[in-house]
Homo-oligomer: A and B are copies of this chain.
Amino acid sequence: MEQIEGGITAVDGFTAAGTFAGIKKMEKPDLALIFSESVCNVAGVFTKNRFQAAPLLLDRKHLRKKKGRVIIANSGNANAFTGARGGRDAGAMAEAAARALNVPIASVYVASTGVIGEFLPIEKITGAVPRLALQLSRNGGRAAAEAIMTTDTFPKEVAFTGKVGREEVRVGGIAKGSGMIHPNMATMLAFLATDVAMEPRLLQEALRQAVDRSFNRTTVDGDTSTNDMVLCFASGQRGKEIRSKGTAYGQFVVLLEAACLSLAKMIVRDGEGATKLIEIKITGARSDSAARRIAESIACSSLVKTAFFGEDANWGRIVAAIGNAGVPVDPEQVDLSFGPVALVRKGVYQGKDAESKVAVLLKQKEIELTVHLHSGRGRADFWTSDLSLDYVKINAAYRS
């Protein structure tokens, strides 16, 4: 497996484009189009928020057939909490793309991110689609990545290549992170393309597994938006269709997970106000699910996150977060290390010398925190950002 240049259009058969359609107030790209020259198998994972934005309702419907060729996505407006008109607007976006590209509406997937509770300027969008379709190109992946940004500070794209069965398969993707926008909401979008040939139900399972080990293992502020989605288009241009969970399936999952994890880490690194990426590794838990709950409890603790911002080896807050995870743990079995330095061993604080070594590590931009619970074989990794003054400034002052 190897990382290659580019993003979603690094995969043969995919073109993309991005433009300013007039949704955002500032003249910045706000409309993205992604196109596959052949019909793809499609898998999708959507937010668990009970309030689902209009585009998600449309996409779920289109996903029933598990086929697709187009993604049209806008930033600047989430088309969420917009009722029946929101549904019609999402439909109009799909229809405009379908018409411009001469494909069935059901093969178009729609995504929106931005302001909640306001109606889309739908004429601006449908008006921009024809020229956007003309701009589609193999070099357009980055433009698409830019057009889905909200308060992201950099576009997020990645591509990997690796052996899947006998074929050299590619997976490429773009994503946007949690950014607060007037007036509202953090949305995570990720679009992945691959040339693998895979039966759609397997593709869905592969995506669910990859998302669960990447996007679902990262947090910036613990909120889940009404618009979050991950879509994966598989063109099937490489080799024979994978129809069972053999070696090739496993190889593809590894590739897909690498792409997802890479994008997920970019999102955390670009979390609002984030100055650090913290990798939390839990081992020796009673089960993987126990490990994950402990990892998540640490990753979501405001006290832990502010301590990281302060570059403070505040192990008491970490220990308290472990105790709050709602799973049984034995305090006298807890090891806790920052990078290679053990700060707590079998529940015993290792003293000021160890702490001063940790203090040096905490000045880095990427920090690894390992917790060993010595009570089983459960493991989990999780990624979080620190909670900084800028996080509060960005989120408190956005509209003032």
Contact = CB atoms under 8 A, between A and B. Distances in A.
Interface of A: 48-51, 78, 80-81, 83, 115-118, 180, 183-186, 221-226, 301-303, 306-307, 309-317, 319-329, 331-332, 344, 347-349, 387-389, 391-393, 395-400
A387 B331 CA distance: 31
5 contacts: A81-B331, A117-B349, A310-B400, A389-B389, A391-B392
A312 B388 CA distance: 19
Contact of A399 (B314, B388, B391, B399): B314
A370 to B, nearest CB: 18
A400 B316 contact: no
Contact of A222 (B81, B302, B322, B391): B302
Contact of A320 (B49, B309, B322, B344): B49
A400 B312 CA distance: 8
> Assembly of this chain: how many copies?
2
B50 A310 contact: no
Given A221-B302, A226-B323, A392-B391, A398 B312 contact: yes
B307 A395 contact: yes
Given A320-B224, A329-B51, A392-B388, A399 B310 contact: yes
Contact of A323 (B51, B310, B393): B51
A314 B183 contact: yes
Contacts of A80: 316
Nearest to A49: B323
A209 B118 CA distance: 43
A241 to B, nearest CB: 38
A186 B303 contact: yes
Contacts of A316: 78, 80-81, 115-117, 183-185
Contacts of A117: 315-316, 319, 344, 349
A138 B206 CA distance: 69
Contacts of A78: 316
A276 to B, nearest CB: 11
A362 to B, nearest CB: 11
| Most central of A225, A320, A393 by chain B CB within 10 Å | A320
Contact of A324 (B118, B223, B329): B223
